[in-house]
Homo-oligomer: A and B are copies of this chain.
């Protein structure tokens, strides 16, 4: 991730977060969830949605784990990090559990995503249905190329990257996605950070440097294929 990956996965596989919080002083009993657990929790949520849409009201670690593609023991361990929301001998209530996971993952609020780079990938991402349905709204799409600026992509008009700060402020974006060439990525990343965005998902094929307190994840498509190629060579 993985990448993540990741993972980072992992990679997975290809992914990572910089900026640890130096031990909460907040009153609430906040739990720091391991990265690997976070990745799986989203799969559980999806599996729960599927079950719910099939009319299931109750489930078990075995069924859920099967659906999410993991082993039941680790599923139970993951869930136990959030608290005890199951019933021994019975299982979990689908709706309850989904609610608890959502809350723990911060999906209560609406996240506003700005996509930097309106190339093929940026445009594909801005139309990706999987985002809208999970509380992520794409609020801006920016690019530097004059021939692209002003063109429409879905409901959005591509904005000039020169107006980055104004656009980020006007839209209150709190997540940025970098879908730009490697050569431009670090410079744009710095700008985005300077505008106060502290969560960045990068598709650029380079290792970006970000200050502590900013969290960065990477998805590296060529890396994914290379790992596949390695396995293909060795298993094939």
Q: Which chain A residues have a beta carbon within 8 Å of chain B's beta carbons?
A: 1-17, 19, 21, 30, 32-33, 35-36, 38-39, 42-43, 46-47, 67-69, 105-107, 109, 111, 113, 119-121, 123-125, 127-131, 133-136, 174-175, 181, 198-201, 205-209, 213, 215, 217-236
* A21–B234 touching, CB < 8 Å: yes
5 A–B contact pairs at CB < 8 A? A9-B11, A10-B14, A67-B207, A201-B225, A215-B235
C-alpha gap A220/B39 in the complex (Å) = 10
* B224–A105 touching, CB < 8 Å: no
Chain B residues near A8 (CB, 8 Å)?
1-15, 36, 39, 224
Residue from the list B11, B21, B174, B225 in contact with A175, Cβ < 8 A? B225
- Within the complex, the shortest CB–CB distance from A23 to chain B, in Å, comes to 12
* B17–A6 touching, CB < 8 Å: no
Chain B residues near A105 (CB, 8 Å)?
226, 229-230, 233
* B38–A222 touching, CB < 8 Å: no
